[in-house]
């Protein structure tokens, strides 16, 4: 007989949540992406009345995330979301680029179901492993949340638009900055704190199948003593877009700004974000380069890539 219980699909991509160390007290010297996602799900004590299916989409440290995997992940999300019996989808992911994948998916895939990314700061073998709690919470959010891409981590739910990794080691390593989290997860129940965001999407069809054909966009940082040489090198190397991580409220060192304006004159798209940890650029009076508003530099890079996609890929 077929199960009538709702189905949540968990897609595995690796990360610390699937990592192992030599001893339970080793929280730092471990190997990420060693355990399969089916194993991580089987190790959960309970999955709150849902049937969980799994698929291993990738298996690596998320510092090595690549465009081909992003596209495949987007395709698998779309596939599972189209099955009526699937209520939500969870993605287990390394924490290093989790915010980039969350933003990318939110801007690309239109799914009418919750998509919940999660991970862990301690390997699965750790005596303080946070992966099982985060995964169980993510499954709960996949059944209780609204449509759209969010991150469930350390008892909080963050919108893809706002989430940032803010700490390299602490268990509570993600935050939503000024916007604040979307919800709390308390003993498997989600308590909403503000409205669920909606997001425009470009659609998977916009992404070239050949990942090497994706627009090349790089990030440069405005710093004390900056100069424009790096911009010239990038322009000569054929980049199509440059994001500048500007200081404060979007200010850029004069020498770097001059080089960016010259790059724009050569047809390179430029977007200016702020390197401040919270908040976005306010106002745009008399700015030499276009503002990315409240997007972080890594979000602005994704945004510029999507804008520069070849038509009809």
Catalytic residue numbers, as ranges = 16
Residue nearest to ligand ASP (CB): 94
The answer to whether 232 and 242 are in contact (CB under 8 A) is no
Distance of CA 179 to the CA centre of its chain: 17
Interacting residue ranges for ligand ASP, rule: CB under 6 A: 15-16, 32, 61-63, 94-96, 119, 121
Closer to ligand ASP at the Cβ: 14 or 241?
A: 14
Closest contact distance (angstroms) between CB of 135 and ligand ASP is 13
Closest contact distance (angstroms) between CB of 39 and ligand ASP is 16
**Cα(258)–Cα(227) distance, integer angstroms:** 9
**Cα(212)–Cα(232) distance, integer angstroms:** 22
**Cα(223)–Cα(252) distance, integer angstroms:** 8
Q: In the chain, where do the E strands start and end? A: 7-14, 20-21, 30-31, 51-60, 86-92, 114-118, 148-153, 156-159, 164-165, 174-175, 183-186, 189-192, 217-221, 241-246, 269-274
Q: For residue 51, which of 88, 5, 114 has the smallest C-alpha distance?
A: 5
Closest contact distance (angstroms) between CB of 179 and ligand ASP is 23
Residue 217, number of CB atoms within 10 A of its CB: 24
**Cα(60)–Cα(273) distance, integer angstroms:** 29
- Dihedral (CA of 220, 222, 224, 227) sign: positive
Closer to ligand ASP at the Cβ: 13 or 54?
A: 13
Question: Torsions phi, psi of 155, nearest 5?
Answer: 90, 0
Closer to ligand ASP at the Cβ: 90 or 226?
A: 90
Closest contact distance (angstroms) between CB of 125 and ligand ASP is 14
Closer to ligand ASP at the Cβ: 104 or 304?
A: 104
Closer to ligand ASP at the Cβ: 16 or 240?
A: 16
Residue 18, number of CB atoms within 10 A of its CB: 29
18: DSSP letter: G
Closer to ligand ASP at the Cβ: 119 or 228?
A: 119
- Dihedral (CA of 284, 107, 172, 146) sign: positive
């Amino acid at each position: 007989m077929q199960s009538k219980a709702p189905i949540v699909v968990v897609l595995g991509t690796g990360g610390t949540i699937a990592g192992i160390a030599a001893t339970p007290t080793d929280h730092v010297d471990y190997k990420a992406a060693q355990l399969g996602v089916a194993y991580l799900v089987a190790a959960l004590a309970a999955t709150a009345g849902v049937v969980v299916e799994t698929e291993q989409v990738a298996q690596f440290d998320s510092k090595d995330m690549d465009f081909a995997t992003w596209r495949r992940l987007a395709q698998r999300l779309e596939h599972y979301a189209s099955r009526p019996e699937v209520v939500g989808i969870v993605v287990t992911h390394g924490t290093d680029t989790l915010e980039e994948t969350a933003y990318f998916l939110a801007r690309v895939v239109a799914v009418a179901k919750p998509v919940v990314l999660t991970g862990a700061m301690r390997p699965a073998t750790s005596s303080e492993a946070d992966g099982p709690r985060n995964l169980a919470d993510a499954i709960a959010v996949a059944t209780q949340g609204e449509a759209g891409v969010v991150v469930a981590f350390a008892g909080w739910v963050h919108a893809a638009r706002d989430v940032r990794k803010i700490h390299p080691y602490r268990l509570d390593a993600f935050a939503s900055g000024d916007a604040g989290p979307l919800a709390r997860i308390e003993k498997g129940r989600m308590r909403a704190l503000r409205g669920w965001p909606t997001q425009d999407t470009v659609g998977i069809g916009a992404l070239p199948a050949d990942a090497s054909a994706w627009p090349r966009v790089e990030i440069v940082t405005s710093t004390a003593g900056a100069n424009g040489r790096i911009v010239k090198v990038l322009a000569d190397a054929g980049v199509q877009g440059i994001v500048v991580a500007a200081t404060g409220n979007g200010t850029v060192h004069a020498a770097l700004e001059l080089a960016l304006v010259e790059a724009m004159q050569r047809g390179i798209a430029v977007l200016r974000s702020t390197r401040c940890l919270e908040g976005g650029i306010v106002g745009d009076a008399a700015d030499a380069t276009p503002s990315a508003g409240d997007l972080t530099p890594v979000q602005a890079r994704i945004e510029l890539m999507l804008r520069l996609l070849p038509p009809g890929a």
